[in-house]
Amino acid sequence: MKTEKKPSRKKNAATTGQVPNLRFPEFRHAPAWEKRSLANLSSCGLSNGVFNDPKKMGTGYKLINVLDMYIESYIDEDILSDIALSENDFAKNKVNHGDIFFTRSSLVKSGIACSNIYLGDACNITFDCHLIRFRPDCFKIIPLFIHYNLKTSPVRGQLIACGKTATMTTIGQRDVGNIHVYHPAIDEQKKIAEGLSSVDGLIAAQARKLDALKLHKKGLMQQLFPAAGGDIPS
């Protein structure tokens, strides 16, 4: 993931564009990043999902819920719960590849609008009413690029500032849609998304190795030390 530092610049860059501290060599002289609202980068606006009725859980369509926003990896369709819906309700809330979701409420303000992305291709997935869906306009923004962008401190700061606190902190579709992000042209977005995704892949691979080593250590300890109530190792 080779990048180059850009030449020093003034901090008060024009509001119409920003230049990051680090760029891939081929984009070193590319134009500054543009500033747009999330609503402007969406293909169909923002929306809430289906009512999560406990009586309808167990069969039907796969349901993305709040807990899926807090996992380290992308949304995993293999671990989603099921919910029974009418075909009409499902059609209005069907999830597509690249859809991004935000939590609508949090016990603490810093936890508001946590997000995650769905990168699968299943045709039977919907999402919970406690989430807000943002569907990127792929002619303007790469879904995986905006997914990473939404994790940055400047964007998180905007989202947290929009939270309204009473018993819990909440945020609405309009608030999420009104936040602003900077982005380069599509080619540079793709390069950034691919680079960060490859790093995520390496992290996941190392995590699997660590889990395997922990399991190996547990097996060794079971054999090297006596079991409960025993005098010799098992």
pLDDT given at position 132: 96
Report pLDDT for 4: 53
Q: Give me the pLDDT at residue 20, please.
A: 84
Judge contact between 50 and 31, C-beta under 8 A.
no
The pLDDT tens digits along the chain (234 residues) read 555 555 444 443 334 578 888 889 999 999 999 999 999 999 999 999 998 888 888 889 999 999 999 988 899 999 999 999 999 999 999 999 999 999 999 998 888 999 999 999 999 999 999 999 999 999 999 999 999 999 999 999 999 999 998 888 999 999 999 999 999 999 999 999 999 989 988 988 898 899 999 999 998 888 888 877 666 666
Q: What is the pLDDT of residue 166?
A: 82
CA distance 131 to 174: 13
Give the pLDDT score at 2: 55
* C-alpha to C-alpha distance for 73 and 95, rounded to whole angstroms: 18
What is the pLDDT at residue 11? 42
Closest CA to 102 of 200, 153, 171, 45: 171
Residue with tokens 């401190």: 153
Q: Could you tell me the domains of the chain? A: 34-183 (3.90.220.20)
The CA-atom distances, in angstroms, between 50 and each of 53, 76, 130, 223 are: 9, 19, 8, 51
